[in-house]
Structure 1
């Protein structure tokens, strides 16, 4: 047989039954020696031996899009895995893939035996075959960092790079040190081009406040060799499954159960304690970053690791679940995020159970269980039932009262422990008032129970890892606020939102009083109007005037907040504007349908309030375009503002009456033109104002979705279309009335009367 006929002897490639979906989709080889990431994570042998497929049956699951890849059996001489074993020293990779493999650790004798002349010729850190295709591929295994000489490319050595904590400072390691800030995901601009990734001097320490990807810091000295900075204690072993923090070693079996690699879990933990962009489900910083982010010492066993805070497994998994929801990470692709979120929730429910709401039942638990309940209050609405949040809140408050964390601990404990107790109790207080107004529930925490507890310290001090001892309100900080105050605001949740929550608590009491005055049964079907409110008696008027005084005190102190944070000032201004609107209207906030059915509403007054809303929303969307700072809290006040906007759009036919006078025919053409121009200006102003509010609703929905925001957004857009038809289509008034009644019927679902659930549907 001629050599040209050798292809006739080639065996026909056939599909085997033991092939994973990941390899089948990529049309690539996966065997026992070089398994793909999918088979490694699920610990499954894969024998799909076909390297490439040109034709085949296409389907929705396996699209007909074969990818041409280089045969892995034909390796170049420049491949990093062709190096001799005696010349390789394993190092911690700069970017770790989602594949966990056992690395062989060798003694770095060759590096220390290098001569001075050899070390002077080393000019940078190089990657081999580092392309964008490698970065996108999930199976790409990062090579060890090597140092190459431009004069002799064949002489290459692998050196160790000392990993450092994300909160290291140059003062801790000496002067003249430069930190390079890189991001782990494959779309990092610093890693696309190997020319710039090789030279450390091109990129000096830079932090992007809008990016929320977990960083990796590399340390080197300017104009010096990297060999001088080798630290033998920083060799990364794979015995801990890639875990970088001691805290995660306690839940390592659970991480393996949910198929979460250790390096990804470390990234998630870093994202939770990020100072710039925190998870959207995290309402406050109860736990301190310095205490929890303790690096693993790779040369020690798990029992010999540095001592960290004794944290419960449920709390650690809850921290990871909170950050998994919206972290931007290459591992969280497709359905992985949803599956991981659900598995973690199931494990947490098995570790901490919801007890009965019976006040006489004895409840046991620790302080970590209270913090876990605080997180689950914010996570529960994502699972489809917002009412579960109140059950977690009641359990956390009952346990907090049993452990008496609402009182100052005068025992011999550290100030950090006292600060954790204060932050946990005031977080429960904020969540209680928030759920009171959102879900139409009764209050669980009274102001009397919080009168003897100091307010938490500033977040910038609490999250500063350079501060070892926190300031004590008994010694150093004599100006710390205690109990219920309305005239002191500051940055952060405990700076301004806590004061707003105290106002909301008073509003809840006012609501309960009005509801008792009305005495509306759950079977009542009569529409609620301003005449049936029953809020005109002397007692209710005095109580409302007192609320206005407290709100004015809070509003007068808001300008001082601007010097600390523009974003916090924008959020506080919007919440204050909504609360002012609720207090100044006859129809109160707990019944949106009552506001829409009120025939005595004033169109000009509603327009004035909506203009104030639009200005506050415009300021907020400029300061925080993604609405990432306080999405869990602010979306409720967005809902209340949108109800007023819908009320304005529903009464457009009344507002247009003065522009459509019946005697308009007797007027001259100039007067008719002036009225038409004024009507056009009014419509454009209303439309512009409504679009600004819709933009904020959509931004908040993209960060933290909610069904009631989606409904309220669609209603506003429908009302805007009716406004255009009311102006352009003759005889549209009848259809406008029909559409208005439909919008009222939809809004009536969010009811705050007896047995009403508010927005907790």
Structure 2
């Protein structure tokens, strides 16, 4: 925690000199890794790995496991390969997140891989049964404690689904295959609502006997079907908690709320299928050239397209339902105002006399409040925190949705777009992707309206902003002065968003792409000398060559 806080803290010890922060952060990181002992989860103070006094030396010899199964404090003992704890996974996540935000993005995969592997070993992808004998029958070592509370169960779910999101996200960032499969977590419940999680409402204190949330008017909207027909609901033996009876299990593709798990997790589920399709198409032996044309992938594309359409409908339904809820309160205020006005008109004459002074002027009686002023127009009233959160989630969800359409029907690699060796520009897929690119830029305008510093999800947003911009760069580069005003305006929005991103989370690839897009816009507006055009194009190409999503390209991992 100290190492993470030191990254951005303004404490005097960190700002006394330009090198102070780096020196302190490096020391804290070394201490953190030293205490953690990555991939060798033995408690501090136990026998050192490789020591001749280790009781496990002989049985682990040649396995590279060292003291992995050494006995220790409660919660750290276990079978070989699973002696870590949930806290170890959380530490890996924090380390990987900070490194992902640096210029050494590829190095973060070491920690993410450790987190994914340990999460699988600890079986966070499974529900913890209330009957230990059921786990023992499945070959799972039961937990050392007799029972696991609902809070710990929910924490396990949220960690797994966070790792699931990051896995899909990094697969796009670094052009790598998925590490976690959908089939592994088809029986794992979706995370609970963030408000309940923060309030510690793990047993559904606001629910009726059927497990329905009485405070949630959109309970039916939250009943999201599982995309795997064979697992439509969680296993009945998972828990006796009635709150879980109405919660969906497994990956979903519909919006359930404004939180990261509510609107972004379904998008990552669909992105995982797009990533699988992308790597299947580009397989060196079984890809596009295997067995004929690319028509073999039409069924997969159609299925993913239908899932994107389903997400879009759920996003629209969620938006309209929430807007209806926001309008109920002004109507209630109007009813209350009318009731108070009628009550004032029926006051007895004695009361009216008490309100009149000797000179006939109306006096103010502190015991009787004046009728409230008419409610302000909803469009001019400021948004509440919840309303702003919903607007932001809607804008981000809409933008990422359009980017996924581009990834499905278009190309990922900017150099392949510019070369256009397969004449993709003349295909229907290019027309569809172009429409979504312009729509994605319009969604960015809404994002900047409600989240002007792009601080809602800076660690995730960059790659979707980048992938949604490649197509606009292609159009600006090819058409130059003939580009439409819609495309030029979209490019300007993209540049402005990248400039804001650089301020919020400064990364090299965003700085580079901002320069590339600015150079292309200068040519579109005729601000570049004719003799310099080819040189500018070559410079743009050299920058884009650093980030490849074809062949053995590593995306943003330089």
Is the pair's TM-score, using the shorter chain for normalization, greater than 0.5?
yes
Matched, 1:577 2:402: yes
Given candidates 164, 167, 177, the residue that maps to 1:429 is: 164
Contact 2:523 2:533 in 1 (8 A): yes
Q: Is residue 642 of structure 1 aligned with residue 469 of structure 2?
A: yes
Match of 2:540 in 1: 743
Aligned mate of 2:459, from 622, 627, 632? 632
For normalisation by structure 2, the TM-score amounts to: 0.65
Greater shift, 446-455 or 556-565, is seen at: 556-565
Q: Is the 8 A contact 1:454 1:473 kept in 2?
A: no
Gaps of 5+ in 2: 41-61, 66-79, 131-146, 206-238, 323-385
Paired residues of 2:254 and 2:263 also in contact (CA < 8 A): no
* Contact residue 514 and residue 534 of structure 1 kept, 8 A: no
**Aligned residue among 418, 425, 428 for 1:601:** 425
Cα deviation, 1:565-590, whole Å, max 9, x if unaligned, reads 111111111110100122223xx22x
Alpha-carbon deviations, 1:201-240, whole Å to 9, x = none?
xxxxxxxxxxxxxxxxxxxxxxxxxxxxxxxxxxxxxxxx
Q: Is the 8 A contact 1:407 1:453 kept in 2?
A: yes
Correspondence for 1:515 among 273, 282, 298: 282
Secondary structure of residue in 2 paired with 1:757: coil
State the Cα distance separating 1:332 from its structure 2 match. 5.4
- The equivalent position to 2:439 in structure 1, one of 612, 620, 623, is 612
Partner secondary structure for residue 725 of structure 1: coil
Return the alpha-carbon distance in structure 1 between the equivalents of residues 445 and 88 of structure 2. 40
- Residues 614, 409 of structure 1: alpha-carbon distance in 2 compared, 3 angstrom cutoff: same
1-structure distance, mates of 2:289, 2:499 = 35
CA contact under 8 A between 2:177 and 2:276: conserved in structure 1?
Answer: no
Deviation at 1:619, TM superposition (A): 0.5
1:419 pairs, out of 139, 142, 154, with: 154
Deviation at 1:430, TM superposition (A): 0.9
How far apart, in 2, do the equivalents of 1:450 and 1:557 lie? 22
Structure 2 counterpart of 1:212: none
Q: What is residue 716 of structure 1 aligned with on the other side?
A: 517
* Residue 473 (structure 1) shift: 8.2
Shift of 1:360: 8.9
Q: Matches of 1:651 and 1:600 in 2, distance apart? A: 13
Aligned to 1:544: 301
Q: Is the 8 A contact 1:374 1:427 kept in 2?
A: no
Root-mean-square deviation (CA), in Å? 3.0
Matched with 2:192 is 457
Partners of 2:196 and 2:202 within 8 A in 1:
no
Alpha-carbon offset, residue 559 of structure 1: 2.3
TM-score, normalization by structure 1: 0.48
Equivalent positions of 1:63-212 (< 5 A) are none
| Structure number with higher helix proportion | 2
SS at match of 1:399: helix
Per-residue Cα deviation, 1:117-173 (whole angstroms, up to 9, x for no partner): xxxxxxxxxxxxxxxxxxxxxxxxxxxxxxxxxxxxxxxxxxxxxxxxxxxxxxxxx
Deviation at 1:652, TM superposition (A): 1.8
Rg bigger for which structure? Answer: 1
Q: How far is the alpha carbon of 1:489 from its aligned partner?
A: 2.9
- Structure 1 residues 606 and 569: CA distance shift in structure 2, 3 A: closer
- Structure 1, unpaired ranges of 5+: 1-316, 521-530, 657-678
- Where 2:195 maps in the other structure, the secondary structure is helix
| Change beyond 3 A, Cα 1:595–1:702 | same
Check 1:470–1:394 CA distance in 2 against 1; reply closer, same or farther (3 A cut). Answer: farther
Q: CA deviation at 1:337?
A: 4.1
Q: More relative contact order in 1 or in 2 (CA 8 Å, sep 6+)?
A: 2
Shift of 1:515: 1.2
Count of matched residue pairs:
398
> Following superposition of structure 1 onto structure 2, how do residues 585-734 of structure 1 map, counting pairs within 5 Å?
585=410, 588-589=411-412, 591-598=413-420, 599-601=423-425, 608-653=435-480, 656=482, 682-683=484-485, 685-725=486-526, 732=530
The answer to whether the 8 Å contact 2:495/2:514 transfers is yes
